[in-house]
């Protein structure tokens, strides 16, 4: 194992609740609909514009908006989201992640971010983790979002390592598929039934360790 490719939301910190709060406000203000709680999970790993389109589809108002208006609404959501995540601090790092980063770096493993979020650098700075990563893949430079493998391949390219020599960490089903299709070893974090396509599944980020990743890679 030469590199580890990290999803951000749900692996390093839990931004899903802030995304959901911002989308819920946007949906209420602009589309006059209440989003069901299931949307919090449904939008995990889904790009900003694809999330916006899913929500408009849910509201049944696709015909009411031009492409420019859709982009404007997505930007309004992001403004609100940015205010919410401005409160993030080191305390919001998920359990076990700082220890894992220490152990991986001590073993000369390169660390790269494979997140769909354009806000990843901002979030990492807020958490005090920006300097800990060797690279952050820019989602604007990849053609297809998760479940396509593009962002994981780009994250591996950024650290100049073949994806086959990497382990990828994900909490979302679409993300696990993306890791598998990038030909990296997938470690899922969450429900084992839901993430059954992953090579290894752990319940929580607290269960992650250098040894577990190294073993998953070796299997
Ligand atoms: P942004 P991940 C994803 O992060 C989120 O799970 C998803 O809900 C969000 O829409 C997407 O990033 C884009 O985020 O609007 O900040 O660019 O799980 O891929 O780290
Ligand atoms: Mg995620």
| Atom 1 (ligand 1) nearest CA | 117
**C-beta separation of 4 from 109 below 8 A:** yes
Residue 195: strand, helix, or coil: coil
pLDDT at 78 over 90: yes
User: Closest Cα partner for 185 from 212, 207, 205, 158?
Assistant: 212
- Which residues are paired to 186 by β-bridges? 168
- The residue assigned the tokens 């084992």 is 192
Ligand 1 centroid, distance to 218 Cα (angstroms): 30
What is this model's ipTM?
A: 0.93
State residue 88's pLDDT score: 98
Give me the percent of the chain exceeding a pLDDT of 70: 100
- Compute φ and ψ for 95, nearest 5 degrees: -55, 140
CA neighbours within 13 Å on the CB side: how many for 91?
Answer: 3
Which among 44, 52, 174 is the best mutation to test ligand 1's pocket, defined by most ligand atoms within 8 Å of the CB?
Answer: 44
Please state the residue numbers annotated as binding site for substrate: 7-9, 23, 43-48, 51, 77, 115-119, 146
pLDDT at 219 over 90: no
User: Alpha-carbon distance 44 to 160, whole Å?
Assistant: 27
């Amino acid at each position: 194992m030469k590199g580890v490719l990290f999803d951000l939301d749900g692996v390093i910190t839990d931004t899903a609740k802030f995304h959901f709060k911002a989308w819920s406000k946007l949906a209420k203000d602009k589309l006059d609909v209440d989003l069901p709680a299931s949307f919090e999970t449904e939008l995990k790993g889904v790009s900003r514009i694809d999330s916006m389109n899913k929500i408009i589809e849910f509201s049944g108002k696709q015909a009411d908006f031009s492409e420019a208006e859709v982009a404007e609404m997505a930007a309004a959501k992001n403004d609100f989201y940015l205010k919410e995540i401005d409160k993030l601090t080191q305390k919001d790092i998920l359990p076990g992640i700082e220890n894992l980063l220490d152990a991986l770096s001590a073993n000369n493993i390169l660390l790269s971010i494979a997140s769909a979020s354009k806000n990843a650098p901002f979030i990492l700075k807020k958490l005090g983790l920006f300097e800990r990563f060797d690279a952050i893949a820019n989602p604007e430079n990849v053609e297809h979002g998760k479940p396509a493998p593009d962002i994981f391949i780009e994250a591996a390219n950024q650290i100049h390592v073949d994806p086959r020599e990497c382990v990828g960490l994900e909490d979302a089903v679409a993300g696990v598929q993306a890791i598998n299709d990038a030909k990296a070893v997938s470690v899922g974090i969450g429900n084992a039934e839901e993430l059954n396509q992953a090579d290894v599944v752990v319940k929580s980020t607290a269960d992650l360790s250098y040894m577990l990743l190294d073993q998953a890679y070796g299997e």
